[in-house]
Structure 1
Amino acid sequence: MLSLMAEMHKQVLERLHLEHDLRHALKGGELQLFYQPIFHLKSQQLVGMEALVRWQHPERGLVSPAHFIPIAEETGLIVALDQWILERACRQLWTWQRQSDIAADLRLSVNVSAKTLQDATFFKYLDTLQQRYPLPRGQLLLELTERIGIELGSEILSLLELLRDRDIEISIDDFGTGYSCLSYLHSLPIQHLKVDRSFISQLEENERNVQITRMILLLSQQLGYRSIAEGIETPRQLQILQELGCDYGQGYLFAPPLPPEEFEWLLKAYSH
């Protein structure tokens, strides 16, 4: 019993230290954005990128988002973190669009928490951001988890309509792992469904996953959404997704998440 309590106490202290360090990281330059390219699967053309945050802790080294995002959610730091990511990602794309013709048509995907959408200051912040970095209509895409309906409840439609009114597109992330109701999906102003990597990783070995992925992609087509597959790692996975009619994809087969300077090299390569 004492050893269990000691372990629980240790875990609580660890989380408190991580929360303290994350607050410092938001101000101290320890966070960095990487960009994972997104491609049109049929033409293999570069069409966008997803902004992904990385935390290089001075003592702990690279801290996984799987560790610090839940803490940010629980403590309310997620609102400041989401805004930090949005600010820098929009500024980066806006800068690239002034340097490269190919960047002019790229979509920028950013993950946003339900708590951020509910924050009283968020939409005013978005208005300021769009004035500062006036990206073309539909080029900013916010990714929301499939749990968003449960987390937002009756607020969801009005909040998503506020995004649509600002020409911001919406994607349901990790689709297939939650509890979405089809009638609920149909009623929302969504433009994209993102197939979770857990299905993609098993496409070659598991026929059941092929059928599930087929159903998700068919649903996406029937509802008029664009489909995105994440976690594509092998040529065979790509081939299956092309055969199933998936629109877009990202994964290590194409490129890992890249620091800004390496993404710029990619832009130059595709501009020739």
Structure 2
Amino acid sequence: MYLTIPVLVLLVDLSFEKEYLSWKLLTTKVVFGQAVQLRCHLPKQNCCHNYTRSWRGGPDYTLLTLNEKSSNYTKYIEYLDTESRTSVLTIKSFSESEVDIIYQCSYGFSSYEAILQLTRHRYEFHPTESVPVSLSFNGTHMYAKISLEKVFPKPQCYGNTNEKDITKESLKVISKRNGIFYKSMIDFNYMIDPQHCFGLVTITCTVGTSRITIAEQNTSCRKNGSTFHGKHLAQRDSVASNSHDEESNIVGKVLIVLCFHFFNGL
């Protein structure tokens, strides 16, 4: 009986400490290739220099920082905010190998670990391809086939010419899984109306909360060839009409001369 009481008290104390130690993702929008921050809330009691602080994690689950000292300053930095009782871990150049793995925040004998999960609403992987690209033009169509080898989440893409939405008639996007990301193929084919100028044609994609211009072509308006063709026809018709009038005048004059000679012969 006497042995069970201190054991129970010890368990209550440990759970009390763990209740106040936890970390959360501080960065509101995680973009791969940029910096990401995790914030660990330390216990209210005995904070904040009485015990050793540390962060563990990464692809190999190793010690990242220890009391603001880093195992790799070009990659990991820890900052202690005593006023808010938080330890903030900054991960520079966040990569795909650093997601969906465990990170641990420790303070003294207490620790908290959780998986940094890839979710649709908070993570973005922007295309690494050089964009915007140029569109091809063959006189009647503007077209392009664009491949985004790695992107997250699935891009929502739109086509526009000036202020007109041409997505439905000209744009098709197919996205397939590529590891934890997606590979997206964009097929653009737009038939140009020869009766109108079309000006600026753009393809934009929304990746998470970011809007990215994928293609952009500022095509100057072209004159309608059929209009000039009609003018040429009108000119030819006018010339033909003038020639017909001249021939009629000549015939009339010949008839008058013949009639004059005929009556003189009588």
Task: Give the TM-score normalised by structure 1.
Answer: 0.21
The structure with more helix, counted as a fraction of residues: 1
The structure with more strand, counted as a fraction of residues: 2
